Structures are given as C-alpha cells and as structure tokens.
Amino acid sequence: MISPGAPKTNLLGLTPGDLETFVAGLGAKPFRARQLMKWIYRRGVADFGAMTDLSRDFRARLIEVAEVSPPEIVAHHASADGTRKWLLRAAGSSGVEQAVETVFIPEPGRGTLCISSQVGCALDCAFCSTARQGFNRNLSAAEIIGQVWLAHRELGARSEGPRVITNVVLMGMGEPLANYRNVLPALQVMLDDLGYDLSRRRVTVSTSGLVPQIYRLAEDCNVALAVSLHAPDDALRDRLVPINRVHPIAELLEACWHYLERQNGRNITFEYVMLDGVNDSLEQAERLARLLRGREAKVNLIPFNIFPGTEFRRSPRERIDAFRDRLMQRGVMVTVRRTRGDDIDAACGQLKGRVIDRVTSPLGGRRTTMEATA
C-alpha cells in the first residue's frame, strides 16, 4: 500500500517490474503497468486524466500518489546545422539550483540524442569542459530517462510516425558507469518494447574506463559500449584520463574484450580526441593500432572542440587524416566524427551545464576538492 501523505512517485524511470510493483500497491493488476508504459513512453502523455483506457477510479488514485515529471527546461538553443541543446534544471545535493545539458543531433536517416547522467563529472579528464565544472551529484533514473521523454515532446515525436530519435548516447555530462544504479533502469526503459523499444545497438553507454562496472554491465544489460581511450600508452593516458591511474589500459582492454564476448557484440568503439602535438603523431597511431589490431574494435577520431581556458588545441585536419589513414593501413576500423553544434557549445567535450555547489569526490584516482560558491 502507498502511505497517505507520502511524496508523489515519479513514474519516469521505473522499470516494467518496478511499475508492476507500484500499481500492485494501489490494488491494480499487472496489465495496468503495461498500459501506463504505453501512455508515458509511446504517446508521451503525462496527464493521468487523459489516459482513457484506465478506469476512472485508478486514474483518480494515480493523480493522488503519482506524477510524470520530466526535468524543467531552463534554456533552449538551436544551431545553424539543426543541432538543438536544452539546459535542464536539476536541484543540487544541498538544494542549490544546478543544470545539465541534453543535445539532439539530426543527420540524414538518423537522429541522435546525447543525454547526461550526472550534474558535472568527477573524473577530471584534462580536455573536457564538463570536468572543469566539478561534480555535484548523480542524476536519478527519472532525470535520465526524463531527458529522452522531454526531447520526444520538444521534437514533436509521435508513436505512429517515423522515429525522430533513433539513437540515444550517454555521452553528455558525467560518467554513466559512476551512476550505475540509476543508469541501468533508464537503459532498461529505453530497450523495453513498452518503453522506447530501441535496438541495443542504438543505445550507447560511454565510459572513461570504470573496469568493475564494465564487467557488471556485461551481466546486466546489452547495449553498445564506447570507451574514452584518447592515448595509446599509460603515461599519456594518466595525464589525459586520470582514471587510468586506477585502471590502466591493459586492464581496461581486458574488460572490453570480456564485454564483447559476453554480449556477443559487433565491436567496441574507442573514442580518441585529437589534440595537437599531444596524441596525434604517426608513431602514436602505430601504437594504437598494435593495441587494437585483430580485435572487434572501431576507433572514432574526434576533432578537439576548444573551450575557454583549455591548454589544448585541435589537431590540423591533415594530421587527423594521416592518423586515420595509418590506422586503416594497419587493419583498424576508423571513422572521423563530424563536429556538430559547436556554435551553441553543443559539440563533444563542450557540455558544461551549471554546476555551482561542487563537492569532494575520489574518482579519477585522486581526491579533488572543489570550492563551493554562493
């Protein structure tokens, strides 16, 4: 039973099993959970009164104890190339208002939604704007899946028409696997046929290399995996991606190959941001090829997107092309990411949201204390 006077339960982010448990607490049969899933995710309806195939009494009870509450939009920006970015309100761990960012990238034949998993990030990657913001808290499952729900509404998606959002990537603010407890149910809703019914190959979790959680994900959920590698050796990766000091490259790759074997995946994508004079030499391309040759791996070369205060610069296009060509000559599958949305700071590595009340976190292999500001 639901306790009288208890806060309303946000149904966004509840897995089908959790939703069945919830409706059972209201004295309803399990099929009501399936009806709710269709209304919330397939039709994008938040008003229980409009869910016309539910009984009148059940709708009245839902209005009393439940809600469908996505994050609130603080600001919206549209790029000249069609990319759209939403700044979403997220209360901080101490009640101070924070904000996270969600980006939609339209391309011929597909629409990719890039969502956030944390308010800020604690992993302190050297080339990432989000890392400079520090870390406040994990997003809830409702806040994670709520970004997908909200984008569907804002983009005018309809269940009966062609898909507007065909792919979802957890590559926004935060390290998804550091928020495993809340990311997992959100992934399950994305994949469920009563949720967004996305193919496992169209939902991608990006990680900087939290090895224990990669092994957990291999057991719990079959989605595409993208790994932020960015260097072909431990000495450089220690500098660029500090979690490498905890889980070095050899350990990380062993977890990746286990993930592929366990999930019968096609390949793992290794993200590699191209930093001028840092990681873009042909010798480094050779080292990277030796790490990945003969494996089901794809390298995604990402032209660095400059942000204020960064020490890094983007590799020249001819060097990116030469790096790509050397990998291909060595039998490594490789693509070069097209930069989108940089005129609204929506490109890879540029998301920063609003992280005001930053807290201490031990992630990244070192304890970093961020100053709180009023």
Which positions are catalytic? Answer: 101, 348
How open is the CA angle 263-265-270, to the nearest 5 degrees?
A: 115
Per-residue 3-state assignment (H helix, E strand, C coil) for 7-39: CCEECCCCCHHHHHHHHHHCCCCCHHHHHHHHH
The answer to whether the beta carbons of residues 321 and 84 sit under 8 Å apart is no
SS3 152: helix
CA-CA-CA-CA torsion sign (151, 154, 159, 165): negative
Which residues does 336 contact at the CB level (< 8 Å), separation at least 6? 300, 301, 303, 320, 321, 324
| Maximum distance among all Cα pairs of the chain, rounded to whole angstroms | 69
Which residues sit opposite 368 in a β-bridge? 361
Residue among 182, 46, 39 nearest 115 (CA): 182
Buried b (16+ CB within 10 A) or exposed e, 237-272: bbebbbbbebbbbeebbebbeebbeebebeebbbbb
The pair of structure tokens assigned to 367 is: 């304890």
Sign of the dihedral through C-alpha 152, 356, 350, 301: negative
**C-alpha dihedral sign at 170, 172, 175, 178:** negative
Q: Token pair for residue 200?
A: 């496992």
The values of phi and psi at residue 212, to 5°, are -60, -35
